Amino acid sequence: MQLLNLLNANIRKNYIEMKRYLPNTIALLLTFYIIFLAMFAGIQIIGDPNTQDMNIQYVIVNYIFWYLAMIVVNDIGWQISNEASQGTFEQLSMSPMGVWRIMTARLIASTFVNILIIIGLLLLSMATTGQWLNLDVITLFPILILTLISMFGLGLIIAGLTVVFKQIQAFLQILQFILAALVFVPLSVAPFLAFFPIVKGVDLVRSVMIDEITLNQIGTGDFMILIVNAVVYFIVGLGFFNFCERVAMNKGLLAHY
């Protein structure tokens, strides 16, 4: 119950801030919508008529995941960096819930809000262009959840680094490209990437949406990789974050001095 209240408070904050900065939010949504439309329009304009559907769908899936990864992983870094310099991070650190729970709640909250937005815009774009992607919800759902959990693990690692190093803006800029690489590089090119966070999940999502593979066609091996990734990255992320918090408490790094 306490955890639900925590999650609720963070979703609400996210929502309030989006509403309060409506022009920003609208600009963001509009950009997103236009990019979607452009990609969908691409189906008609460019490429080989036989494969263009696939290419475009491929790009759309990549783009969505990249955006999500940025929101989830990169944004937590910016938040902590800002809040530590203001002093609210210390307030959070005094919650008996533990900061890691608050950070996880924030990761879930921003994912939740943004997935709703993405789904809305995706449907809107499909309605506008009349191009309907294969959205096999039952198959996509477990893949998405597991992929997101590994993403949260990555988010906690970034959060931990920010707690200790604070000025990691430059690193966060680079991280955008690393995330892009993880999302855009196909697994067939570099099979070892399957053990990196996100990559396997995106690959499976592409198979579902483009090759129309269903849940029972996905091998147990593939699912195992997803599950292991999710568990390992999340646990490592948590452990690392808590370690960083302890370092910060020892060295007096929870606030700017």
Residues that bind another protein (CB under 8 A): 1-3, 5-6, 8-10, 12-13, 16-17, 20-21, 86-88, 90-98, 102, 246, 249-252, 254-255
Q: Which amino acid is at 112?
A: F
| Residues 131 and 52 sit within 8 Å (Cβ to Cβ) | no
2 binds, among another protein, ligand ADP, none (CB under 5 to 8 A by kind): another protein
Tokens encoding 219 = 């091998």
Q: Which is nearer to another protein, 27 or 97 (CB)?
A: 97
Please tell me the distance from the alpha carbon of residue 160 to that of residue 17, in angstroms, as a whole number: 24
In angstroms, give the least distance from the CB of 81 to another protein. 14
Choice between 76 and 143, CB closer to another protein: 76
How many of the other CB atoms lie within 10 Å of CB of 49? Answer: 8
The contacts found for 113-121 with CB under 8 angstroms, 24 or more apart, are 113/11, 113/14, 113/15, 113/18, 114/67, 114/68, 114/71, 115/68, 117/29, 117/32, 118/32, 118/64, 118/67, 118/68, 121/29, 121/32, 121/33, 121/36
Judge contact between 118 and 67, C-beta under 8 A.
yes
Residue 120 beta carbon to ligand ADP: minimum distance, rounded to whole angstroms:
45
Q: Which is nearer to ligand ADP, 140 or 255 (CB)?
A: 255
For ligand ADP, give the closer residue by CB, 50 or 250. 250
Q: From ligand ADP, another protein, none, which one binds at residue 20 (CB under 5 to 8 Å depending on kind)? A: another protein
Q: Which positions lie near ligand ADP, rule CB under 6 A? A: 252, 257
Residues 6+ apart with CB under 8 A from 8: none
Instruction: Work out what residue 10 binds among another protein, ligand ADP, none; the CB cut-off runs from 5 to 8 Å by kind.
Output: another protein
Q: Which does 195 bind (CB under 5 to 8 A by kind): ligand ADP, another protein, none?
A: none
CB atoms within 10 A of CB 94: 8
Please, what is the minimum distance in Å from the beta carbon of residue 160 to another protein?
17
Q: Tell me how far apart the alpha carbons of residues 70 and 175 are, in angstroms, rounded to a whole number.
A: 9
Choice between 13 and 117, CB closer to another protein: 13
State the nearest-atom distance from the C-beta of 251 to ligand ADP, in Å. 7
Q: Of 2 and 220, which CB lies nearer to another protein in the complex structure?
A: 2
Selection from ligand ADP, another protein, none that 19 binds (CB < 5 to 8 A by kind) is none
Given another protein, ligand ADP, none, residue 191, with its beta carbon under 5 to 8 Å by kind, binds none
Angle at which helices 99-129 and 52-69 pack, to 10 degrees?
Answer: 150
